[in-house]
Structure 1
């Protein structure tokens, strides 16, 4: 604590460190809340779980879509990071995308949001990044028979969207088995990593 000129004590301003901690706490809380209740869960529940006020939430994420897209961007970045390993296959990348969908309906809700409205440019950027990273393994997957002959990157993205959308109607405990069945029906090999 420091003392002001008038002799009253006040707490030192933690500054940027507190802001970074609050942001990290909000993201962790949002992952949990959205996994439990979907991305339409009340944002005040996210702030409460993070232990911060709603003002802090809105300073970091001015609206729900900003928060949801930040979480989705983290998932895309993880897939990109894993793809830096040249030994990683399309089946491995699809498995990671599937694990994200199983554990968090954030990517599911974002991918299926308001088809009648023009898509958010940030979402389109994340979709393009996903297409690039999945497309980087498609040729080898075709050669190895992991996907049907003639499969395109758009086909792979459509399959991801179909599986993810199907998972929105399943309880969390059933999603893993349901996703495995969906990929099998689509005729695509997918290696879903354990938790």
Structure 2
């Protein structure tokens, strides 16, 4: 068995849980990018390569494609919730974060259309739960009397914008998303990841 050593001839330190957390974060980021570029059927090996880890590390964190997709969706929703919880958060700012996730994550668009996951009750239930969390986060910062305040208007407008997010490049998808919000008469803050 070959032992790996660093440049100084010593074996590198085992970071244990720190490395596991770093690897998981790298895998989620890579999965978001790969799924956005190549769709949800992209090879999992591409995710491992993009994250800079071996396939064994990938499968330790995500035993199958569904687990990888779920991790990306969970991270997307968590960032939207964090954006809404920020002390200086505005509705436009939270919409900017939501829009970034629509542009960057093909899987996220599927989540927002969870009612179409017919025949897969497990996926549908999970997706509906995540979708409800997104709605709660948005409503937390929705000003009273806003044009999207009516019961179903907020969810419908997000679904409409998500349907418009198409195109071969990130720039095209962003242009279309912002045009859709503009047509709905809704102001959107900077399109960026939360904390970005």
TM range (shorter): 0.7 to 0.9
Give distance in 2, aligned partners of 1:63 and 1:32: 17
Aligned match of 2:6: none
Aligned match of 1:116: 118
The answer to whether the aligner puts 1:130 opposite 2:134 as a matched pair is yes
RMSD: 2.8
Task: Give how far 1:82 is off.
Answer: 1.9
TM-score relative to the length of structure 1: 0.76
For structure 2, which runs of at least 5 residues remain unmatched after alignment? 4-10
Aligned match of 1:183: 181
Structure with higher Rg: it is 1
Give the conservation status (yes or no) of the 8 Å contact 1:183–1:190: yes
Deviates more, 1:184-193 or 1:70-79: 184-193
Task: Give how far 1:60 is off.
Answer: 0.8
Residue by residue, what CA displacement relative to the aligned partner does 1:132-173 show, whole Å, maximum 9, x if unpaired?
1112233x252xxx425x622x32122112211221355322
Give distance in 2, aligned partners of 1:61 and 1:168: 28
Task: Give how far 1:193 is off.
Answer: 3.2
Give the conservation status (yes or no) of the 8 Å contact 2:111–2:131: no
Which SS does the other structure have where 1:108 is aligned?
Answer: helix
Structure 1: which 4+ aligned runs deviate by more than 6 Å? none
Give distance in 2, aligned partners of 1:74 and 1:63: 17
Aligned match of 1:58: 59
Task: Name the count of aligned residue pairs.
Answer: 181
Aligned match of 2:159: 161
User: Matches of residues 1-195 of structure 1 in structure 2 within 5 Å?
Assistant: 14=14, 15-112=16-113, 115-117=117-119, 118=121, 119-138=123-142, 140-142=143-145, 146-147=146-147, 151-152=150-151, 154-169=152-167, 171-193=169-191
Give distance in 1, aligned partners of 2:88 and 2:53: 42
Give distance in 2, aligned partners of 1:93 and 1:82: 6
Give the conservation status (yes or no) of the 8 Å contact 1:39–1:109: no
Which SS does the other structure have where 1:136 is aligned?
Answer: helix
Give distance in 1, aligned partners of 2:13 and 2:89: 46
For structure 1, which runs of at least 5 residues remain unmatched after alignment? 4-10
Q: Are residues 55 and 163 of structure 1, via their aligned partners in 2, closer, same or farther at CA, if it must alter by over 3 Å?
A: same
